[in-house]
Amino acid sequence: MSGENNKKFIVHPGGVIQGELRVPGDKSISHRSIMLGALAEGTTEVTGFLEGEDALATLSAFRAMGVEIIGPDKGKVTIHGVGMQGLKAPQAELDLGNSGTSMRLLSGLLAAQDFDVTLTGDKSLSARPMKRVTDPLALMGAEIGTSDGKPPLKIQGGNKLKGIDYDLPMASAQVKSCLLLAGMYAEGKTSVTEPAPTRDHTERMLQGMGYPLDVNGSTVTIEGGHKLEGCRIDVPADISSATFFMVAAAIAPGSDVTLKHVGINSTRIGVINILDLMGADISLSNETETGGEPVADIRVRYAPLRGIQIPEDQVPLAIDEFPALFIAAACAEGRTVLTGAEELRVKESDRIQVMADGLQILGIDAEPTADGIVIEGGVIGSGEVEGHGDHRIAMSFAIAALQAGGSIQINDCANVATSFPGFVELAREAGLNIEVIDE
């Protein structure tokens, strides 16, 4: 369960990453399949659904609001949609665990229902900023109480929302999606303009389910009062989970790995672009489209990496991939500089500080800055680092061991299950020498 802090990884050095692997389903698309499937008319059949704690938190929340959902069973979920007005008041607060996506998207969707509802989360989620959604929702007429801008969110039902034009102050797909979901219930049109492109899975799925939407440059406009139709959704493998094996193969001499059927939506491929700039050997094959999303097999073979200045336009396109990319930077020759990434400080942990602390413990020169980090490539040593209950920190330090001088112990790893159930087994299959200590 998320929140437990007694799981440790001990990862031994050496190892080569090889084989054909399929990582679990995309987390963002899995969340959205439940949300939109629940509000649709008719049945939505999902395959490839991520059976991780975050997506399951969304699933449980909709069950608690009266939606009949069958599964998940080997990635298959059947959602019997209740229509736009069919949700029922839950009997209790909705506990969304570690999942920021659940909380931020649901805040928009629930702001216009005729019942009150409270959204809560674990320690990490309870410390994350929510004014970024409650401020614009208040402009639409919503009433949402917070604890000093943080969860729990107490959403008051019975408010009629009106459309707004909103310029997002930060590049955030969660805030954009929150306002689009609220906009489905608002009177008139809601327009959201983003400062840089962010993942567009909400827009694609809305259109795929028959909800009209206008995308014009950096502005998305939605009009209230239309309907969603149930459909089939094939969720591709999550590029954010594939990233750990891409970086692992890129840093470990002799490696050659292929990640199958991975989502390569252009708003998600910053990791490919950045690794490519660093000199990684990456090739794509079997490119096709499934359920409105592009997918491909991604092959990565070892090649020496060099440090780079990471282009700022890649930051939103690789926002979840930086912990792993910092490991690539630590193994590269020369200096890697990241700027324009202050959002990393408000993820499941402060990913700039936490990664800098861990890298320093392992003997790497890593200097945090207000909006990024400077990493000098070097020799990774052994040591004990903290996972801080952040799934992506734990998995990043796990792959670092491939190139370490001795074993790395990572504490507080239970939350790996939020996004990547089966990580340890797949990592072993790929060639990582990883032990789990469950106390």
Report the nearest approach of ligand S3P to the CB of residue 314 (Å).
Answer: 14
Q: With binding defined as CB under 6 A, does residue 320 bind ligand S3P?
A: yes
Q: Out of 124, 134, 172, 243, point to the residue binding ligand S3P (CB under 6 A).
A: 172
Nearer to ligand S3P, 317 or 400 (CB): 317
Give the contact letters, 328-367, x = binds to ligand S3P (CB under 6 A), - = no: ---------------x------------------------
Q: How far apart are the first and last CA of the chain?
A: 13
Is there binding between residue 174 and ligand S3P (CB under 6 A)?
yes
The least CB distance from residue 406 to ligand S3P, in Å, is: 32
199 lines the binding site for ligand S3P (CB under 6 A): yes
Residue 50's closest CA among 234, 175, 299?
234
Q: Which helix (H) or strand (E) holds 145?
A: strand 144-147
Q: Contact between 403 and ligand S3P (CB under 6 A)?
A: no
Which of helix, strand or coil describes residue 134?
Answer: helix
Number of CB atoms found within 10 A of residue 130's CB? 25
Task: Give whichever of 177 and 258 is closer to ligand S3P, judged by the CB atom.
Answer: 177
Coil, strand, or helix at residue 244?
helix
Residue 164 backbone dihedrals phi, psi, to 5 degrees: -135, 165
Residue 281 Cβ, how far from ligand S3P at the closest point, in Å?
27
Name the minimum Å distance from CB 435 to ligand S3P. 28
- Separation of alpha carbons 112 and 159, rounded Å: 6
Residue 172 or 221 with smaller CB distance to ligand S3P = 172
Angle at 17 between CA 14 and CA 20, to 5 degrees: 160
Calpha distance 293→282 (Å, rounded): 20
User: Does 28 contact ligand S3P by CB under 6 A?
Assistant: yes
Return the residue of 2, 102, 124, 177 that touches ligand S3P, per CB under 6 A: 177
- Nearest approach, Cβ of residue 28 and ligand S3P (Å): 3
Q: Give the neighbor-by-neighbor strand order of the sheet with 408-411.
A: 383-386, 408-411, 7-12, 433-438
Q: Supply 66's token pair.
A: 């009266």
Taking CA atoms, 88 is separated from 63, 115, 303, 337, in Å, by 10, 8, 54, 49
In the list 46, 109, 173, 424, the residue contacting ligand S3P (rule: CB under 6 A) is 173
Residue 320 catalytic?
yes
Backbone torsions φ then ψ of 114, nearest 5 degrees:
-95, 15
Residues in the interface with ligand S3P (CB under 6 A) total: 10
Active-site annotation holder among 54, 320, 390, 412: 320
Dihedral over alpha carbons 313, 319, 321, 323 (to 10 degrees): 110
Distance CA 310, CA 298 (A): 21
The interface mask with ligand S3P, positions 64-103, x = CB under 6 A, is -------------------------------------x--
Catalytic residues: 320
The residues binding ligand S3P (CB under 6 A) are 28, 101, 172-174, 177, 199, 319-320, 343
